[in-house]
Structure 1
Amino acid sequence: MVLMALGLALLLVPVWHLWGTDLVAAQAQERAVVAMSDRLEQAGSAPGTEAGGGGAGTPPVTARPPYGQLIGLVYVPRFGDDYARPLAEGTDPGVLDTLGLGHYPSTALPGEPGNFAIAGHRQSKGKALDLVHTLRPGDRIHVRTVEAYYTYSYRSGEVVAPDETRVLAPAAGAGSRILTLTTCYPRWGATERFVGRAELTSWRPASAGPPAEIAAAVAGDRVRGEPAGHRLRRSG
């Protein structure tokens, strides 16, 4: 009986790793989305849309936050109409395992010239970038901060070795504003890394409200978590 119980426990370990940690992280990310949405609205990032409102000139850049602090929210319509994940400073397990998406501190910030690079898990722990392989050229990735909504258009992806640090190098070309997504590859493994590239194509001040493509998702941020984790499981 003891051996049978031990064998059952060993079988449940990978189940918990994939499904249990996913549920716990999904709930934590739901709470973080609601908290960040409240903070953005209080700062003047209204949930409604306005006619026009497209940004002209140089986009504003948020101040670099302390490690582990939330920067904003990321929306990827290709991943689901209600897909939203919190974006925090840092890429260690303390950030990625609970908050979903982490910003490499050595890289540019949203809207800033250079390479704005973020990381996320492919499987388990909220699997923030599970569907990265579905991205197609032209797909939009929206980043919402206190200052603005930044829209990046997806360009291409590649598979690289885990130690390929060139993907975090500054963007080539003066004034280029690139977004880099990094996650594990293949989908159920971690022997390599998938790297996706997008380019900033537009922005609008927070006071103008979100782009129409994500207006419903932004409005829904305030009621996420009813029931907790449901929306993340549905879109992941």
Structure 2
Amino acid sequence: MGGRHSAGSGNASENAANRPAGEDLRTSINSHHRVDPNVRGTDARTLGEPDDSGIGTRTLDSAAQTLGEPDNPGIGTLPSGASGASEPPAKSDPVKKRRRSWFRTFLSFVGELLITAGLVLLLFIVWQLWWTDVEVHRDQAVQQQEIVQDWSPEPSTTGTPRTDDPPVAAPVADGEPIGIIHIPRFGSDYAYTIKQGTEMSVLNQGAFGHYANTQGVGEVGNFALAAHRQTYGAPLRDVPELQEGDPIIIETGDAYYVYRVTEHYIVDPSEGDVVLPVPRQPGVEATERILTLTTCHPPFVSNQRWIVHATLDYWVPRSDGLPPDMVTD
């Protein structure tokens, strides 16, 4: 047995002597790094294979998720469990897109239409409430100048009131001037033309219109007039301010007729009997010279009529001078 041991030892020594020095070193290192297969599954995940230079596979994967791949430096990859490549965007439905486009176009059209209609309505209101008054007031001054140029000049003296039968103005054609109305309660310079007829073509000139088939100025019966209360000069805008006894003066080429307010009230538009020779008394013969004013009520609603009655107090020939109620201090 001692001989076998010696022989084996001798062979080992001989083999060691015959191996290169470097091979012994590698053998020694490999023996130190040999890993138990049962343990390698755990340790390799931490330490990595020898080729990994000591960096664990999980550690490397985690670093890649944090720092990014080498070709995308500094930008992290998607979280674990998500695909690294971006998913293509969802395809839109062209039919739904066309429907949305059509609906939006329709809403835009309706919106623009409403805005345009609102602007047109606003401009109409401005024109109706303000500009028509401006135009009428300017036109009234021209109309009055045209009327009085055929009359004798306005007197500068005060005439003497008369209570005998006054001259009756001659009838005129539709749209033709009858005279000028003055209402001192509304201002010393208040003056509007009076024309035959109550059509809008007459009233929209800012004129008072004379009801057809009613009596003329100065005549026994009812000299009935209509005028606007809003827009187109609004001659009777302030009609509620009239008080009993206030003078209403009709100027013609022959005389001044001074009526005094006796009453006012509100009626429905269907109550046309207010312009009868004796207001609201059909078939009764007139004995007084009455003036009636009619206008819309309330303003901008106009579902009723405001009525004012006045009776002739006196008259003054134009050649004698102005009536005392037109003379201001």
TM-score, structure 2 as length reference: 0.61
Offset at residue 76 of structure 1 (A): 0.2
Q: Percent of aligned pairs with the same residue?
A: 39
- After the TM superposition, which residues 86-105 of structure 1 pair with which residues of structure 2 at under 5 Å, given as runs? 86-105=193-212
2:123 pairs with 1:12:
yes
Query: One-letter code of the match for 1:117?
Result: A
Tell me if 1:170 matches 2:282. Answer: no
Three-state SS of the structure 2 residue aligned to 1:129 is coil
Match of 1:189 in 2: 301
- Pick one of 134, 145, 148 that aligns with 2:252: 145
Q: Which residue of 2 aligns with 1:48?
A: 156
**Normalising to structure 1: TM-score of the pair?**
0.84
Select the structure of larger CA radius of gyration.
2
Find the residue that maps to 1:21 and give its secondary structure: helix
How far the C-alpha of 1:56 sits from its partner, in A, is: 4.3
Query: 3-state SS of the aligned residue for 1:86?
Result: strand
Distance in 2 (alpha carbons) for counterparts of 1:147 and 1:116: 17
Checking the alignment, whether the CA contact within 8 Å between 1:117 and 1:180 is kept in structure 2 is yes
Q: After superposition, what is the alpha-carbon deviation per residue over 1:116-138, rounded to whole angstroms, capped at 9, x for unaligned?
A: 00000000001011111100000
The aligned counterpart of 2:134 is 23
Decide which structure has greater helix share. 2
Gaps of 5+ in 1: 217-236
CA distance in structure 1 between the partners assigned to 2:144 and 2:252 by the alignment = 12
**Amino acid across the alignment from 1:197:** H
Q: Which residue of 2 aligns with 1:225?
A: none
Aligned residues: 212
1:173 Cα deviation after fit: 5.4
Decide whether the 8 Å contact of 2:148 with 2:253 is kept in 1.
Answer: no
Alignment correspondent of 2:190: 83
Match of 1:220 in 2: none
Q: 1:65 maps to what in 2? A: 172
User: Per residue, is there more strand in 1 or in 2?
Assistant: 1
Distance 1:176 1:201 in 2: 10
Instruction: Give CA-to-partner distance per residue, 1:36-71, whole Å, 9 cap, x none.
Output: 222222xxx533124x53224210011001110110
Amino acid at match of 1:57: D
**Matches of 2:164 and 2:116, distance apart in 1:** 65
Distance verdict in 2 for CA 1:121–1:178, change over 3 Å:
same
Q: Deviation per CA, 1:62-107, whole angstroms, max 9, x where unpaired? A: 1001110110110000011110110111110111001421111211
Q: Which has the higher contact order (CA 8 A, sep 6+)?
A: 1
